[in-house]
Amino acid sequence: MEKITISSRTTFIGLATATVACVLLYSQDFLPLQRAHITWQNVFKGQKQQQHLQAPPSRASHTKCTLAHTSLAFLKVHKAGSTTIMNILQRFAWDNNLLVALPSPSHIIHSNFKNLLFLPKGRNSYDMLFNHVHHYDRKKFAKLLPADAKYIGIVREPLSLTISAFEYYRVVWRLKRYTKIPGNDKLREYLRHREKYDNSPGSFTNNRMAFDFGLPGRMFRNRTFITKYLKKLDSEFDLVMILEYFAESLIFLKRLMCWKLKDVLYIKRNAMKNKRPHIVFSKEELSYHKNFSMADTMLYDHFLSRFKLRLTQENREFWEEVSVFKGMLGKTESYCLSVKNNGTDTHANSSLLFQETKFNDVFAINRNDCSLMLISEIPFVRKSRWKHAQMLSDANKKTFTG
């Protein structure tokens, strides 16, 4: 078998100093956000003013673990990199024969959770839940999952999320709410008059992130209630990832779940191909946006502050692992896209081999791995339903044979 050998050790360059230079990181669909220069001593400007914040619990801190955790609920937030995360979780569940809470016939779980595929005989809970739900509800989630399930969420900078959602649902879904807006620059017109075009709670562009996290629409402008609700979320989520710190978030996820670096590799999903040019907003427009998106802004600022504070507590080894992981990502995407573009014959007997580092054993990426990374969300859901049916059949056979 032909092997394409890549040494992950070569990806770690220049991290012997205490400063990590962060570069421009993509924002899942478009509108990249400039990341600040990061040091271990001071992750963000104004750190001294943030000392009153309580760092997130060290539930995802690095430990030398050997047994992977397999129970997880992921809150799939619209237009926040969730499809990429879902593919990671789908692959892990597939490779480890885990029981997933799968909806049918839709790929969205109904608010009453009654469109889930049945549990096999002998099982009283699913292993994972990661499809879109109407909104987060801890009590309903807890009825479906083991008591030790980890709860994971993700957030994205609200203005970039709003723009991404507007373009996606206008261009791809062709929703009249967005296509009927007059003028040549529909986005600018919409952003200047959001209350005119979109003031209904639960829409894809009106504080949708907060809605996905379970905040009632009638409370979108209630600062006191939102503050209390954020404390509730703090107590219920083991990890809230940040899209603008995607690699760092995935290393936290990997450590929390005691997974391997191979488990969290990915190829970016569901990204808009035609990206808008950078948009410059006036102070008045930004102020208007923050006021309209109060719930999303408070949600994001809260978890971003906690995330950055947590980064200050990580040592050199964490940043080394992030660097190694980023190197693996680039090689994996290049190899898998080559497999896809050149056909199966060229790479039928090839694999991408990663050498051992302090963070991973030797492992390979092959055509099957690439196939699962590149498959779209809904076809993967259908594929998973087939495996679920096999689990039901096997459970029934065991019951019948005694």
End-to-end CA distance of the chain: 44
For residue 27, name the pLDDT band (cuts at 50, 70, 90): very low
For residue 344, name the pLDDT band (cuts at 50, 70, 90): low
In whole angstroms, give the CA distance from residue 358 to residue 219: 47
Give the pairing type, strands 19-20 and 350-354: unpaired
Residues 6+ apart with CB under 8 A from 171: 272, 274
Whether 364 shows a pLDDT value over 80: the answer reads yes
In whole angstroms, give the CA distance from residue 203 to residue 359: 42
Domain ranges of the chain: 15-324
pTM equals 0.83
DSSP symbols for 173-205:
S--HHHHT--SS-HHHHHHHSHHHH---TTSSS
Residues 6+ apart with CB under 8 A from 219: 225, 226, 229, 295
Provide the greatest CA pair distance for the chain. 71
Q: Which CATH number fits domain 15-324: 1.10.132, 3.30.70, 1.10.8, 3.40.50?
A: 3.40.50
Q: What confidence score (pLDDT) does residue 396 get? A: 82
Report the candidate in 127, 299, 113, 115 with the shortest Cα–Cα distance to residue 214: 299
| 146-173 pLDDT, tens digit each | 999 999 999 999 999 999 999 999 988 8
- Over range 297-308, report the average pLDDT: 98
| 186-238 pLDDT, tens digit each | 998 998 999 888 877 778 899 999 999 999 999 999 999 999 999 999 999 99
| 43-73 pLDDT, tens digit each | 333 343 443 455 554 443 455 678 999 999 9
